[in-house]
Amino acid sequence: MAKFMKSAFQNPLSFYGILLIEVLAYSSYGVFINLSRVNGIIMYKSSSLVLLLEIIKFTISFMILWSEKNKLNYKQIKFRSVISFSLPALCYGINNNLAVYMQDHMDPSTFQVLCNLKIVSTAVLYRLIMNRKLKFVQWLSLTLLTLAGMLNSYIGMKDKPQSLNDVYLTPVGLSLTLVYCFLSGLAGVYTEYILKKEPMTLLSLQNCYLYIFGILFNFTFWYTQTAEDESLFQGFTLYTWLVLLTQAASGLIMSAVMKYSSNIVRLFVITSAIPVATIISIVLFNFQPGLEFYAVIILVVVSIVLYSLKL
C-alpha cells in the first residue's frame, strides 16, 4: 500500500485522480450533514461524530498496517516518534471544541468569513516550519484562494439576511479566531513535518499514532459533554454514517497528501471543494447561486493556475 501510494503521487495522472476523489469526498461533508437532519434539526452530537471518525480512521489504518506487517521495521517504533503525534491530535481536538465555543462571541457568518484566515496561517507556518520559500506568484495565488473562501462565506451570509442584521464580533471572539486559525495551520503543517521527518516509516503506522491520540483526546471531550444515559450513536441516520465513511476516506487521503505532497496542495483541495459542494447543492437541493458563485470558481481556478506556474 505504501509503495502504491508513493508511486501514485509521483504519477501526474494518478496524482490528480487522487486529488479529484479527495475533492469529491471533502465537498460531500456539508451535503450529507444537511441530509442527516431530522425535520431540519441535527439530532446527534458533533463530539460523537468526531470521536467515531477518529475510531474509523484508526481501524482502517490498523488494517492496512496489519497487511503491511512484513514491511514493518520495529526499530522505527520509538517513544519520541509516537509522542510527537500528540501535538497535532491535541490541536485538532481543541479546535473541534473551540469552534463551538466561538459561536458565543460572534455571529455564524463572521465565523465563516474569518476562519478563512487559516489559509494564511497555514502558508506562513509552512514557510517557517518546513523552511520552504514560496515565490511571490505563489503568495498571490494563496491570497486569491483566501478571497475565494471569504467570498463563498459572503454568499452564505447573503442567503441568510437575518445574519447580516445581527453581525457582531467581540474582542474575545477575535482573539479566539486568531487562536483557531493558528492551531489549524499548526496542526496541518506540523503533521506534514513529522510525516516527512521519517520518510521510511509506513504511513499506516504514522496514521495509527495520530488517530490513537485523536481517539483519546476526543473521547475525553465527548465524555465530558455527554449525559450518562446518552448513547454514542444517538440521533444517527443513514446519512450520518455516509458522513463518517466519506470523511474517513477524506482524512486518510489527506494524510497521504501531506506525506507525499504538501499542505499547500491540501489548501487548494479544500478550497476547490467549495464550488463542487455548491454544484451538488444545485442538483440535490435546487440551490440557485448568484454571480458571486461564478466569481468564486474563477478565483479558485486562477489561484491554482498561478501556483502551478514555474515563475
Ranges 71-75, 156-160, 212-216, 275-279, most confident: 212-216
Name the residue with higher pLDDT: 278 or 241: 241
Which residues, in sequence order, are CB contacts of 40 under 8 Å at separation 6+?
none
Give one DSSP letter per residue of 232-285, joined into a string. Answer: TTTT--HHHHHHHHHHHHHHHHHHHHHHHS-HHHHHHHHHHHHHHHHHHHHHHH
Name the residue with higher pLDDT: 146 or 215: 215
Name the band, by pLDDT with cuts 50, 70 and 90, for residue 38. confident
The position carrying cell 516550519 is 129
Give one DSSP letter per residue of 118-139, joined into a string. Answer: HHHHHHHHHHHHS--PPPHHHH
pLDDT at 3: 60
pLDDT at 107: 66
243, 33 contact by CB (below 8 A): yes
The position carrying cell 441568510 is 160
pLDDT at 74: 77
Convert the pLDDT of each residue in 62-115 to its tens digit.
Answer: 999 999 888 887 777 888 889 999 999 999 888 877 876 776 787 665 676 777
Specify the pTM.
0.85
pLDDT at 161: 47
Give me the mean pLDDT over the 167-187 stretch: 86
Convert the pLDDT of each residue in 108-153 to its tens digit.
Answer: 656 767 777 888 899 999 999 998 888 888 899 999 988 888 787 6
Convert the pLDDT of each residue in 268-290 to its tens digit.
Answer: 888 888 778 778 877 777 767 77
